[in-house]
Amino acid sequence: MENINPQNPETKKPDSPGFEKKPEPEKSVVKEIHHHHYGRKGPGRFFFGLFVIIVGLMFLGRAAGWLPQDIHINWSWVWPLVIIFIGLSILSCRGWFSWISGSIITILVLLLVAWMIFGNLGDKNLINQEVGFDKSANVTRAVVNLKTGATKLNIKGDSSKLLTGNFGSYNLDLKQQEETKDNVQNITLETTSSWKWFTSSKNTIDLQLTNDLPVSLNIDSGASDMDLDLTNIMAKVVDVDTGASTFNLTLGDKADLVSINVDAGASTINITLPKILGAKINIDADATAKNLTDFDKIDDKTYESKGYAAATKKVNLDFSQGASTLNVNWK
């Protein structure tokens, strides 16, 4: 039973005489102010994102074979555009006037990019350059170095000189150098780009080598389509470093020992060898479809043709490549 003291106000019931209602304590009110942060929007960010997507699609299309393999970017032109787009993104969030002016500048930048991509800013005609080198006196060996971007490359023998040929392009130049030292004649052919930012024109190099001199051939190229018919050439070394390419090589039996080294991206590689050669193949690749006719597997990376050890003429082939198809056949 509740004990109520009538003299104690705290124990009086609300309906009792003399009950005094205690004032309720003041409640503190906490007001929350929500700051809504909206992402900065403007033409700079939108078109920069669009630009990145287009570049990504270009690389995807080239890798998938939807676009020509000779499309490439001069990255020295990219970073100034990135800075411009960042500035436009900052400018476009400062008010309606800045938004309008940023939109106008963005459109002008995009027109400039389109002009750089699709416009031939120089001569629109195909430019052809002749290649011709005579054999120097007392030379016992030749080294040919070829450095190029995406190119259609054809090489064969039967040249009346040490090296002859033709280079054709809409926007590339061919730099030619020669040096003879210690009875070795070194020839370097290197393509140099004009100031055009994107290049999508077809570049073609057709070369003919001498049949009478041992030759080392070094090729450093971008994504290319290469057809090397070395049947009549005394090729001692063939060293190829290329991007995603189609690479066709036909070898002859003019040299006693030949070294073939191919470092390629995602490519299709077709090798044709004369039956007189003994062939040894080393493959350093994770995902390669192999079609090796009449080869015995030595280990996970090494294959030898039948009778390799007893062959008087041999070829050693080393492949380091991405996801590729490798076909080696006999003629």
> What confidence tens digit (pLDDT) does each residue in 296-331 have?
999 989 999 999 999 999 999 999 877 688 999 999
Q: What is the pLDDT of residue 74?
A: 54
Q: What mean pLDDT is predicted for residues 190-205?
A: 66
Q: CA dist 95 to 38, 47, 108, 109, Å?
A: 14, 18, 20, 21
Least confident of 92-106, 155-169, 293-307: 92-106
Q: What is the pLDDT of residue 94?
A: 56
pLDDT tier, 136 (very low <50, low <70, confident <90, very high otherwise): very high
**Over 90: is that where the pLDDT of 269 sits?**
yes
Residue 255 — φ and ψ, nearest 5°? -115, 150
Q: What is the pLDDT of residue 291?
A: 92
Q: What is the spatial distance between Cα 325 and Cα 268, in angstroms, rounded to a whole number?
A: 5
Q: What is the pLDDT of residue 55?
A: 72
Q: How many helices (H) and strands (E) does the chain have?
A: 3, 21
pLDDT tier, 39 (very low <50, low <70, confident <90, very high otherwise): very low
How many C-beta atoms lie closer than 10 Å to residue 39's C-beta? 6
Q: What is the spatial distance between Cα 192 and Cα 172, in angstroms, rounded to a whole number?
A: 6
**Closest to 112 measured CA to CA, from 152, 80, 86, 137:** 80
Task: Give whichever of 43-52, 59-68, 100-109, 243-252 has the largest mean pLDDT.
Answer: 243-252
Domain chopping of the chain, boundaries: 43-118, 127-330
Q: What mean pLDDT is predicted for residues 71-81?
A: 60
Q: What is the spatial distance between Cα 13 and Cα 18, in angstroms, rounded to a whole number?
A: 9
Q: What is the spatial distance between Cα 45 and Cα 86, in angstroms, rounded to a whole number?
A: 7
User: What's the pLDDT tens digit per position in 1-38?
Assistant: 445 455 555 555 555 555 555 566 555 554 544 444 44
Name which residue leads in pLDDT, 14 or 276. Answer: 276
**Over 60: is that where the pLDDT of 124 sits?**
no
Looking up tokens 């993104």, which residue turns up? 89
Q: What is the spatial distance between Cα 3 and Cα 8, in angstroms, rounded to a whole number?
A: 11
Q: What is the pLDDT of residue 63?
A: 58
Looking up tokens 């057709």, which residue turns up? 206
Q: What is the pLDDT of residue 53?
A: 74
Concatenated DSSP letters of 48-114: HHHHHHHHHHHHHHHHHTSS-TT-EE-GGGHHHHHHHHHHHHHHTTS-HHHHHHHHHHHHHHHHHHH
**Over 80: is that where the pLDDT of 185 sits?**
yes
Question: Is 225 in contact with 267 (CB distance < 8 Å)?
Answer: no
Question: Is 321 in contact with 267 (CB distance < 8 Å)?
Answer: yes
Q: pTM, whole model, 2 decimals? A: 0.66
> With the CA atoms of 288, 289, 292 and 295 taken in that order, what torsion angle do they form, in degrees rounded to the nearest 10?
60
Q: What is the pLDDT of residue 15?
A: 55
* 293 Cα distance to chain centroid: 31
Task: Please name the amino acid found at residue 259.
Answer: S
Query: Taking all residues of the chain, what is their mean pLDDT, rounded to a whole number?
Result: 78
Q: How far apart are the first and last CA of the chain?
A: 116
Q: What is the pLDDT of residue 11?
A: 52
**Closest to 310 measured CA to CA, from 280, 290, 284, 331:** 280
DSSP H or E run through 325: strand 324-330
**Closest to 105 measured CA to CA, from 51, 47, 156:** 47
Q: What mean pLDDT is predicted for residues 226-248?
A: 93
